[in-house]
């Protein structure tokens, strides 16, 4: 029997072998995912600069190609965000798990993976490098041409030059083998929904030189900047505790708790240490492994800590959410509800939703579901996630939901940690606390729906009555005019309108 050969692989090699789990399963999905990752980064960078995002996405075919389903496309995304410091560009773009979004605050990016996957896919499908132009405030700007050294998870810098760029921001150009025919509809849907969840963003899409769509710009208000938070004590697993102790080993237990965690002030720390029956002056670096383990268990289970801070979150908010949905979908009635801030394992989260009626939505016995996580629309794998599960579990018939009224439900979950099912970030995993809050939110909206559908039905009845009345009234007027031998039949419209206004005021 021969011995197996043991080896280790780098993170980029792992994603090269398993690109499906990051959303690059076929040319059409890869085109969509690459666009999504680039737009996500641009929106994050604009929000960090506190400026309304102005993003231009250009997609063009490489010339002289055969007319096949998959073709080589050039994707170019230009933004007015913060830009990146030149020294971070190679690793940020061409090294898996390198990024600026690992802190505890809400962001669209999570893993430090997205843009590198787009480059990696482009590189293996077309052998072309990525081109990055970027300028930060106070710098002149730089240009890079980069590839990924997949086996070693390192950037390869093919070209570098300094620029004289006037505007801050970043332009990224990726060449990849894609299928735009199949992906285009989803890309447009994604851009449209992105401007709903980020109403201050304007996104222009041009395909082969023609401007296909201009989305967004629904609000001048930029979301308040989110704050970076300390971990909540209920998030203290053994690994986190070990890292915090390594950094602050000389601190006394009492001070260590106050400085390392949110929601632990001197009073709470003293109470907690007393409850633990531990010495508050003991240096944490000198604690035994078992003591640290029981400290972690106690931190996670002690019920004297307040809920996590939510200044690290950025919900869309009632006014903005309703306004952008109403503008895009021409809604008739809308209702907003939110729950939170709540927490799951110490991570704060908020769930918010808008229920809307409008003729553009399909008629069904359940509302059409639009899902968002940290302001990113989720368009794939809806059946794998908790949003659809809770949606199906809700008994909409009880709330007067039936096929005569077209209803849609727009749901946004935001958190410092969204528990995604896979690295492609398309559906949210089952987490008891989030599921519970969604269930309560949907029930609340269901009750509202009963009122809304009664209103829609009442106004439909009213409209029918008015049509019937106008018809009869016109006949009477025509008949009376001919009896009185008037040649001209007077108009009845204004009179009917006035009568109905009086009726509905009564
Ligand atoms: P993530 O977005 O999850 O952090 P990415 O691989 O998509 O991971 O991006 C890596 C890093 O590159 C980001 O964290 C960010 O710091 C930087 N970056 C990427 N695109 C841009 C951009 N358009 N503007 C500014 N910074 C960017
Ligand atoms: Mg990203």
Atom 2 of ligand 1, nearest CA residue: 109
CATH number of 318-453: 3.30.230.10
Is the minimum distance from the CB of 112 to ligand 1 under 6 angstroms?
A: yes
Is the minimum distance from the CB of 136 to ligand 1 under 6 angstroms?
A: no
- pLDDT tens profile 85-118: 999 999 999 999 999 999 999 999 989 999 999 9
- Of the candidates 155, 190, 13, 10, which has an alpha carbon nearest to the alpha carbon of residue 84? 155
Tokens of 52: 């309304």
| Contact indicator for 216, 203 with CB cutoff of 8 Å | yes
Q: What is the mean pLDDT of residues 402-417?
A: 91
Is the minimum distance from the CB of 113 to ligand 1 under 6 angstroms?
A: yes
Q: What is the mean pLDDT of residues 451-475?
A: 76
- pLDDT tens profile 307-333: 898 999 999 999 999 999 999 998 988
Is the minimum distance from the CB of 45 to ligand 1 under 6 angstroms?
A: yes
Is the minimum distance from the CB of 122 to ligand 1 under 6 angstroms?
A: no
Per-residue pLDDT at 403: 75
505 has a pLDDT exceeding 50: no
The DSSP line for 425-453 is --SB---HHHHHHHHHHHHHHHHHHHHHH
Q: How far is CA 133 from the centre of its chain?
A: 26
Is the minimum distance from the CB of 388 to ligand 1 under 6 angstroms?
A: no
Is the minimum distance from the CB of 55 to ligand 1 under 6 angstroms?
A: no
- pLDDT tens profile 251-290: 999 999 999 999 999 999 999 999 988 888 989 999 888 8
CA of 431 to the centre of ligand 2 (A): 24
Is the minimum distance from the CB of 48 to ligand 1 under 6 angstroms?
A: no
Strand arrangement of the beta sheet that strand 71-78 belongs to: 154-162, 142-149, 130-135, 169-178, 71-78, 54-61, 202-207, 210-216
Q: Mention the CATH class of domain 11-216.
A: alpha beta
CA of 180 to the centre of ligand 2 (A): 21
Atom 21 of ligand 1, nearest CA residue: 41
Unique residue bearing structure tokens 């959410």: 321
How far is the C-alpha of 334 from the C-alpha of 17, rounded, in Å?
Answer: 46
SS3 342: strand
Q: What is the mean pLDDT of residues 391-396?
A: 94
| Contact indicator for 315, 414 with CB cutoff of 8 Å | yes
Q: Return the ligand number nearest the Cα of 112.
A: 1
Per-residue pLDDT at 54: 97
Unique residue bearing structure tokens 């972690």: 296
Per-residue pLDDT at 78: 98
Is the minimum distance from the CB of 92 to ligand 1 under 6 angstroms?
A: yes
In what helix (H) or strand (E) does residue 28 lie, and over which residues does it extend? helix 27-48
Topology classification of domain 233-301: Helicase, Ruva Protein; domain 3 (1.10.8)
83 has a pLDDT exceeding 80: yes
Q: Describe the crossing of helices 27-48 and 180-197 by its angle, rounded to 10 degrees.
A: 30
Domain residue ranges of the chain, discontinuous segments joined by +: 11-216, 233-301, 318-453, 455-505
| Ligand 1 closest atom vs CA 77 | 23
* DSSP state for residue 127 in the 8-state scheme: -
CA of 299 to the centre of ligand 2 (A): 32
* DSSP state for residue 147 in the 8-state scheme: E
495 has a pLDDT exceeding 80: no
Tokens of 335: 């209702």
Beta strands in 345-381 (DSSP E): 347-357, 368-373, 376-378
176 has a pLDDT exceeding 60: yes
SS3 283: strand
| Ligand 1 closest atom vs CA 98 | 10
How far is the C-alpha of 359 from the C-alpha of 66, rounded, in Å?
Answer: 42
| Contact indicator for 470, 496 with CB cutoff of 8 Å | yes
pTM here?
0.89
The chain-wide mean pLDDT, for the chain, equals 92
Q: How many CA atoms lie within 13 A of 264 on its CB side?
A: 26
- pLDDT tens profile 205-258: 999 989 888 989 888 888 999 999 999 999 999 999 999 999 998 999 999 999
How far is the C-alpha of 372 from the C-alpha of 325, rounded, in Å?
Answer: 13
How far is the C-alpha of 150 from the C-alpha of 322, rounded, in Å?
Answer: 45
How far is the C-alpha of 296 from the C-alpha of 306, rounded, in Å?
Answer: 17
DSSP lists the bridge partners of residue 174 as 75
């Amino acid at each position: 029997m021969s011995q197996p050969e043991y080896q280790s692989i780098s993170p980029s090699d792992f994603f090269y072998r398993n690109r499906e789990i990051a959303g690059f399963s076929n040319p059409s999905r890869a085109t969509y995912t690459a666009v999504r990752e680039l737009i996500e980064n641009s929106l994050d960078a604009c929000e960090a600069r506190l400026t309304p995002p102005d993003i231009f996405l250009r997609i063009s075919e490489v010339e002289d190609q055969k007319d096949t389903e998959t073709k080589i496309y050039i994707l170019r995304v230009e933004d007015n965000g913060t830009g990146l410091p030149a020294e971070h560009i190679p690793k940020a773009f061409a090294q898996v798990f390198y990024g600026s979004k690992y802190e505890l605050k809400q962001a669209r990016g999570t893993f430090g993976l997205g843009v590198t996957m787009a480059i990696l896919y482009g590189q293996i499908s077309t052998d072309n490098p990525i081109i990055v132009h970027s300028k930060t405030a106070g710098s002149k700007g730089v240009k890079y041409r980069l590839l990924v050294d997949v086996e070693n998870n390192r950037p390869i810098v093919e070209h570098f030059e300094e620029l004289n760029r006037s505007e801050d921001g970043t332009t990224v150009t990726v060449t990849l083998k894609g299928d735009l025919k199949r992906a285009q509809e989803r890309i447009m849907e994604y851009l449209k929904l992105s401007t709903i969840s980020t109403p201050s963003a304007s996104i222009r899409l041009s395909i082969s030189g023609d401007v296909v769509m201009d989305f967004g710009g629904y609000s001048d208000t930029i979301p308040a900047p989110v704050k970076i938070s300390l971990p909540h004590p209920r998030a203290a697993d053994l690994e986190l505790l070990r890292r915090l102790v390594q950094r602050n080993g000389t601190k006394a237990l009492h001070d260590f708790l106050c400085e390392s965690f949110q929601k632990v002030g001197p009073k709470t720390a003293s109470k907690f240490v007393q409850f633990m029956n531990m010495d508050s002056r003991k240096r944490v670096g000198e604690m035994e492994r078992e003591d640290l383990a029981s400290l972690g268990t106690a931190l996670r289970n002690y019920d004297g800590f307040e809920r996590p801070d939510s200044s690290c979150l950025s919900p869309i908010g009632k006014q903005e959410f309703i306004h952008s949905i109403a503008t895009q979908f021409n809604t008739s009635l809308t209702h907003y509800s939110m729950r939170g801030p709540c927490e799951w394992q110490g991570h704060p989260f908020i769930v918010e939703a808008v229920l809307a009626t409008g003729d553009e939505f399909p008629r069904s016995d359940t509302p059409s579901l639009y899902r968002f996580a940290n302001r990113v629309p989720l368009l794939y794998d809806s059946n794998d996630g908790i949003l659809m599960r809770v949606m199906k579990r809700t008994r909409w018939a009880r709330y007067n939901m039936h096929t005569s009224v077209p209803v849609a439900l727009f749901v946004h979950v935001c958190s410092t940690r969204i528990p995604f099912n896979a690295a492609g970030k398309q559906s949210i995993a089952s987490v008891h606390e989030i599921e519970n809050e969604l269930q309560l939110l949907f029930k609340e909206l269901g009750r509202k729906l009963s009122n809304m559908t009664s209103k829609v039905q009442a106004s439909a009845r009213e409209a029918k009555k008015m049509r019937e009345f106008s018809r009869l009234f016109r006949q009477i007027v025509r008949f009376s005019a001919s009896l009185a031998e008037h040649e001209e039949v007077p108009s009845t419209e204004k009179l009917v309108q006035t009568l109905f206004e009086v009726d509905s005021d009564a």
